[in-house]
Structure 1
Amino acid sequence: MNWKQAVKDFGIYMQLERGLSLNTIKAYKRDLNKLIYWLEENKIEESPSIVNQDTLRSYIYALAKSVQPRSQARSISSLKAFFEFLILERYREDQPMELIETPKIGRKLPDTLSTKEIDALINSIDRSTLEGERNRVILETLYACGLRVSELITLKISDLFFDEGFLKVTGKGDKQRFVPIGSYTMKIINTYKNEVRVHIPVKSDHTDTLFLNRRGAGLTRAMIFHIIKQQAIKAGIEKTISPHTFRHSFATHLLENGADLRSIQMMLGHESITTTEIYMHVDRVHLAKVINEHHPRA
């Protein structure tokens, strides 16, 4: 078995058997291709079925010199998953990554925006154009529903269950969940759909896509990043922000206003409550206030 075929088969397995998203699979493949490039560069001719622990350890040491611990940890995780696949398919019997330790990276606290900063961002949008109206609704939806950027750009008109007050969201691994949506956000989405989107010549394969570009196709992740970056500059916000910043802000503001972690977990689509618990560390002032106001011994 050669590396190219092994990586291809691994990708198919991760999609069909594990149900992972295409973006996640691409990340796995990128990590594996880095190893392949390193092997070729160092003229090491070891196939996936015979590459040994010493070779992989040398690669990880080389990787550590050029990437941050978080990226190094992700690469190790990708390699472990790849070799587990080879064992499962009986291409090899051992796990060569077994004794290679993952670097300790700790938890990075998410950046957030205040409600004033979010208002400033949205108010900085030029609403005199169709694109401006669309961009305003995009930012409002990101913040109101805590969506991932991939969930936003794949949102469909048929996913709008406004009579019930929910959006149907397709998250990581094509897992679906219903996210509650407020009356204000429903109103502006309807306005965009009925007064803005109708003026765009829609491509045949995007008739159900909610947010469209000027050519009638779906928006890309890169376009959403660009929109947010440009509006941050206009609003005079110096923080480095991304679509995920709105998701972090959504969760943080819910927590600050008394929402419980379990509800936030369900709305964010986190598989584990430990992922949601990171928001407990964001606003220490708020947590201290909760203790002082509600604990009987405060």
Structure 2
Amino acid sequence: MTAPNLTALIQGFFTDRLVRQRQSSPQTIAAYRDAIRLLLLFSAQKAKKPPVRLTIADLDAVTVAAFLDHLDSDRHNSTATRNARLAAIHSFYRYALPLIPDKAHTASQVLAIPQRRHEQATVSYLTETETDALLQAPDRKSWFGRRDHALLVTAIQTGLRLSELTALTIQDITTTILGAAVHTIGKGRRERATPLTRQTLASLRPWLREAGPEPTAPAFPTQRGTPMSADAVQRLVAKHAATAAYSCPSIVTKNVTPHTLRHTAAMALMKAGVDTSVIALWLGHQSPVTTQIYLHADMTIKERALERVNTPNTTPGRRATM
């Protein structure tokens, strides 16, 4: 039996492994697609041949290591992004390995490339004052301002991921008093419903009537009625954060992104005394362990713990006199 070529391996990886076997989410497939595409473009330039003529030998451990260096030095990717790209490449080679026994050594060397260790940064989130300033930033006299305000309110209260926000449709949002919630499919294709507060409903109800009558239409569309891109949401968050800084200068010290809003939602729950296991369910975390980062970020929890500690006697002693 003839071993499949690189093109067949890549096609099988996406259609057979990711779509059929794993039933991966569109977000996962898109992330893996981007990683493999970047690797192919880099390898083609290095081998001085078009991507369609690349073979598995062109994607050896030396090339993959050089690609990872390229992500660092040329694309200025973070360690987390580098590790995510490498995880996609590892997944592809684990799929390919049984199908290319004659190239097992090449695949094994790539699979042996380790993830890079990195320090876990302290979670960045908005205080209550900063949150209020951000929500006041959009000009609600305009269509864009009303959309942006509704999106920001939803993101800050629900803690949805950016991909979940952009995928929301009108029918995903229940606005009845009883059972008001946002319904999403997150990582691992897990469905969850996130309850909505009365304040969030007050912003969402008039906006959803304005967004359009079609239940399958995007909840937060572009003016053409199409779903917003991730880049578009990132730009609008940054724009309104810059506006909010005029009335709340402390925002300037923070890099406000859609993920900052997710952290803000988690920290609000934490400060309200909600258990970390419940917060993990709220955010769609695979494990409650992931939610421990918010314990490290909440200084009030540490201060309360300090108050319970019996401080030893630290009265300075007298200097003995001769």
TM-score norm. by structure 2 comes to 0.79
**SS of corresponding position for 2:219:** coil
Of 52, 56, 60 in structure 2, the residue corresponding to residue 48 of structure 1 is: 56
* Equivalent residue runs for 1:143-162 within 5 Å: 143-161=156-174, 162=176
The letter for the 1-side match of 2:143 is L
Q: Which residue of 1 aligns with 2:14?
A: 11
Q: Which residue of 2 aligns with 1:25?
A: 29
Matched, 1:142 2:155: yes
- Alpha-carbon shift at residue 228 of structure 1 (Å): 1.2
Q: Which residue of 2 aligns with 1:291?
A: 305
* Equivalent residue runs for 1:69-108 within 5 Å: 69-88=79-98, 90-92=99-101, 93=104, 95-108=108-121
**Is the 2:217–2:225 contact (alpha carbons within 8 Å) kept by the matching residues of 1?**
no
Q: Which residue of 2 aligns with 1:220?
A: 229
**Is the 1:127–1:133 contact (alpha carbons within 8 Å) kept by the matching residues of 2?**
yes
In the alignment, the residues of structure 1 paired with residue 135 and residue 69 of structure 2 have an alpha-carbon distance, to the nearest angstrom, of 45
- Alpha-carbon shift at residue 292 of structure 1 (Å): 4.0
**SS of corresponding position for 1:211:** coil
Q: Which residue of 2 aligns with 1:176?
A: 191
RMSD: 2.7
- Alpha-carbon shift at residue 273 of structure 1 (Å): 1.8
Q: Which residue of 1 aligns with 2:248?
A: none
**Is the 1:3–1:36 contact (alpha carbons within 8 Å) kept by the matching residues of 2?**
no
Q: Which residue of 2 aligns with 1:258?
A: 273
Unaligned ranges ≥5, structure 2 = 246-250, 312-322
The letter for the 1-side match of 2:5 is N
Determine which structure has more spread, i.e. the larger CA radius of gyration. Answer: 2
**Displaced runs of 4 or more, over 6 A:** none
Q: Which residue of 1 aligns with 2:297?
A: 282
The letter for the 1-side match of 2:86 is I
In the alignment, the residues of structure 2 paired with residue 208 and residue 42 of structure 1 have an alpha-carbon distance, to the nearest angstrom, of 44
- Alpha-carbon shift at residue 7 of structure 1 (Å): 2.3
Of 188, 202, 210 in structure 2, the residue corresponding to residue 187 of structure 1 is: 202
Per-residue deviation, residues 30-62 of structure 1 (Å, max 9, x unmatched): 322333334333338872279554554555556
In the alignment, the residues of structure 2 paired with residue 60 and residue 130 of structure 1 have an alpha-carbon distance, to the nearest angstrom, of 43
**SS of corresponding position for 1:178:** strand
In the alignment, the residues of structure 2 paired with residue 286 and residue 178 of structure 1 have an alpha-carbon distance, to the nearest angstrom, of 29
Change (3 A) 1:153 1:98: closer
Per-residue deviation, residues 76-116 of structure 1 (Å, max 9, x unmatched): 2222111111135x233563334322221132333211111
TM-score norm. by structure 1 comes to 0.84
Q: Which residue of 2 aligns with 1:243?
A: 258
- Alpha-carbon shift at residue 220 of structure 1 (Å): 2.2
Moved more, 53-62 or 227-236: 53-62
Percent identical pairs in the alignment equals: 24
**Is the 1:80–1:95 contact (alpha carbons within 8 Å) kept by the matching residues of 2?**
no
- Alpha-carbon shift at residue 165 of structure 1 (Å): 2.9
**Is the 1:142–1:247 contact (alpha carbons within 8 Å) kept by the matching residues of 2?**
yes
- Alpha-carbon shift at residue 246 of structure 1 (Å): 0.6
**SS of corresponding position for 2:47:** coil
In the alignment, the residues of structure 1 paired with residue 87 and residue 14 of structure 2 have an alpha-carbon distance, to the nearest angstrom, of 15
Change (3 A) 1:30 1:193: closer
- Alpha-carbon shift at residue 242 of structure 1 (Å): 1.2
In the alignment, the residues of structure 1 paired with residue 163 and residue 69 of structure 2 have an alpha-carbon distance, to the nearest angstrom, of 33
- Alpha-carbon shift at residue 226 of structure 1 (Å): 1.9
Matched, 1:230 2:239: yes
